[in-house]
């Protein structure tokens, strides 16, 4: 049979690659019951379809690939419908597994897309919340700083008007708090000085009156 040995060599190479791929797939699908249920018919129908090669090899008893190719062709011709049906069943089983794989990939892709969309929404919401928090914090800091500066300015103005009666109370620990504390110390010193001057003036007035 012209070309028969080459065809058999190609068939053996292809089937070896198929067996390797099937073993790898079986390992990857371990624990996935639906997928393994679809893989089992692939294995069964594949083995049935490949019985033609095993039968040809058995009947030729090692007489070479040319004889085996002739025998395979002869056996196939004896019951073409049976061998063709086995090949078609094998192809359908492989197609069913392939369709399942396509559907699983589509589902995973949709899930990944949904996860990515959810992550994107969470990132956007997080960014908006961070921006809102940062804006609120900045507004509060500016407002608090302005209030403290305003208090320092008012205290300075009161002292400029010689009004030392109102204490400057602050619990701040920052630079503005240090400024307010220094102003309060200045107010107290000026108040003590003014009190001392007034007392001395009163003493002088009293002494002058007595004289």
Specify whether 114 is located in the same domain as 181: no
Write phi, then psi, for 170 (nearest 5 degrees): -150, 145
What pLDDT is attached to residue 202?
64
Tell me if 46 sits within 8 A of 90, measured CB to CB.
yes
Q: Lowest-confidence range among 1-15, 57-71, 119-133, 159-173? A: 119-133
Tell me if 194 sits within 8 A of 202, measured CB to CB.
no
The two three-digit tokens of residue 40, written as one number: 């089992």
Specify whether 37 is located in the same domain as 90: yes
Tell me if 68 sits within 8 A of 60, measured CB to CB.
yes
Specify whether 68 is located in the same domain as 144: no
Tell me if 86 sits within 8 A of 49, measured CB to CB.
yes
> What's the pLDDT band for 1 if we cut at 50, 70, 90?
very low
Domain closes at, from 126, 145, 180:
126
Domain count, the chain: 2
Query: What residues contact 189, with CB distance under 8 A and at least 6 apart?
Result: none
> What's the pLDDT band for 205 if we cut at 50, 70, 90?
low
Q: Which residue has the tokens 């956007």?
A: 124
Handedness of CA 11, 16, 17, 19 (dihedral sign): positive
Specify whether 122 is located in the same domain as 141: no
H-helix or E-strand containing 66?
Answer: helix 65-78
Specify whether 85 is located in the same domain as 167: no
Specify whether 18 is located in the same domain as 84: yes
Domain closes at, from 94, 126, 158:
126
Specify whether 21 is located in the same domain as 117: yes
Q: How does DSSP assign 179-205, residue by residue? A: HHHHHHHHHHHHHHHHHHHHHHHHHHH
> What's the pLDDT band for 140 if we cut at 50, 70, 90?
confident
User: What's this model's pTM, rounded to 2 decimal places?
Assistant: 0.47
Angle (CA) 25 26 30, round 5°: 115
The domain containing residue 15 runs over which residues?
4-126
> What's the pLDDT band for 115 if we cut at 50, 70, 90?
low
pLDDT at 186 over 80: yes
> What's the pLDDT band for 134 if we cut at 50, 70, 90?
low
Domain closes at, from 79, 105, 126:
126
Specify whether 19 is located in the same domain as 65: yes
H-helix segments, 161-173: none
The mean pLDDT of the chain is: 79
Please give the Cα distance from 185 to 201 (Å, whole number): 24
* CA neighbours closer than 13 Å in the CB half-sphere of residue 178: 2
Specify whether 87 is located in the same domain as 168: no
């Amino acid at each position: 049979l012209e070309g028969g040995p080459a065809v058999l060599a190609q068939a053996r190479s292809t089937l070896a690659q198929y067996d390797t791929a099937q073993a790898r797939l079986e390992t990857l699908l371990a624990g996935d019951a639906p997928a393994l249920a679809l893989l089992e018919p692939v294995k069964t129908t594949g083995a049935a379809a490949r019985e033609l090669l095993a039968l040809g090899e058995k009947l030729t008893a090692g007489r070479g690939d040319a004889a085996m190719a002739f025998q395979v062709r002869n056996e196939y011709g004896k019951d073409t419908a049976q061998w063709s049906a086995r090949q078609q069943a094998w192809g359908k089983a492989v197609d069913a597994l392939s369709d399942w794989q396509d559907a699983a990939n589509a589902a995973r892709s949709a899930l990944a897309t949904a996860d990515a969309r959810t992550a994107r929404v969470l990132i956007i919401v997080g960014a908006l919340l961070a921006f809102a928090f940062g804006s609120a914090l900045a507004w509060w800091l500016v407002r608090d700083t302005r209030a403290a500066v305003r208090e320092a300015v008012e205290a300075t103005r009161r002292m400029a008007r010689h009004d030392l009666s109102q204490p400057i109370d602050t619990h701040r620990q920052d630079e503005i708090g240090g400024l307010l504390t220094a102003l309060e110390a200045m107010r107290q010193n000026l108040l003590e000085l003014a009190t001392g001057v007034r007392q001395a003036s009163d003493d002088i007035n009293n002494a002058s009156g007595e004289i």
